[in-house]
Amino acid sequence: MIEKDKSMFTGIITEVGIINCLELNKNLLGITSSLKKLELGESISCSGTCLTVSNVKKNKFFCNLSPETIEKTNLKKKKNGDKINLERSLKVGEVLSGHLVFGHVDGQAVLEKISVSKESWILKFSLSKNLHRYLAEKCSISIDGISLTVNKVYGNFFEVSIIPFTWRNTNLIFAKEGDFFNIEIDMLARYVFKALNK
């Protein structure tokens, strides 16, 4: 678990922000966005990592990073100008369009290949054996905060299919082979795996 709060998300990205300040030695992340009326203490999913807003200045907001957050996420590989997926926390009564995402990054996957199939993009990722064991075809997964469905699982790889809307409205459009992405395993898959092992 990265940040200790009770917020939940749906994995439906509402905006792609831009990193404007990343000072890992000061455990500080700053993001430029057009999110309105941000409140101090509010939880934001930043490419799948649940972070707390600690300061707001015009069109920028800042979050403090714990050492565990820096260690487990791809933030340590980011730089100023990089794009980051944003989603505000789910409120009671709102529609759950994706799946329940907690913002607790389990690890990172490496984008191995990007291919195009008709009007979709097929992304092939490699993942550690420790996390790969939770995957099955048609299960849900959060990749950089995006709620996606796993199409194929084999070896230490898995594939997802990206529709044009998701491609255009997330940071995936800027993705390159070799990039690292934050992964959160579907909590239901984790519970089922644990139950079956018992």
Structure tokens at 60: 């920028």
Instruction: Answer whether residue 1 shows pLDDT above 70.
Output: no
Structure tokens at 153: 């699982």
Q: Indicate the pTM of the whole model.
A: 0.91
Range of the domain at 43: 15-88
Q: For residue 27, what pLDDT is reported?
A: 97
The span from the CA of 123 to the CA of 176, in Å, is: 10
Q: Residues 114, 182: one domain?
A: yes
- Per-residue pLDDT tens digits for 73-128: 999 999 999 999 999 997 655 656 667 888 999 999 999 999 998 889 999 999 99
User: Considering the domain boundaries, does residue 147 fall inside one?
Assistant: yes
Q: For residue 191, what pLDDT is reported?
A: 73
The span from the CA of 27 to the CA of 73, in Å, is: 13
Sign for the CA dihedral angle at 136, 140, 146, 150 comes to positive
- Per-residue pLDDT tens digits for 27-68: 999 999 999 999 999 999 999 999 999 999 999 999 999 999
Contacts of 192 (CB under 8 A, 6+ apart): none
Query: Is the Cβ–Cβ distance between 157 and 124 less than 8 Å?
Result: yes
User: Considering the domain boundaries, does residue 30 fall inside one?
Assistant: yes
Q: Residues 115, 193: one domain?
A: yes
- Report the chain's C-alpha Rg in angstroms: 16
User: Considering the domain boundaries, does residue 93 fall inside one?
Assistant: no
CATH number of the domain enclosing 129: 2.40.30.20
Q: How many structural domains compose the chain?
A: 2
Q: Residues 132, 175: one domain?
A: yes
Q: For residue 5, what pLDDT is reported?
A: 52
User: Considering the domain boundaries, does residue 99 fall inside one?
Assistant: no
Instruction: Answer whether residue 6 shows pLDDT above 70.
Output: no
Q: Residues 55, 117: one domain?
A: no
Q: Residues 185, 121: one domain?
A: yes
Instruction: Answer whether residue 188 shows pLDDT above 80.
Output: no
The span from the CA of 143 to the CA of 124, in Å, is: 12
- Per-residue pLDDT tens digits for 123-159: 999 999 999 999 999 999 999 999 999 999 999 999 9
Q: Residues 58, 138: one domain?
A: no
Distance of CA 131 to the CA centre of its chain: 15
Q: What angle do CA 156, 159, 168 make, to 5 degrees?
A: 140
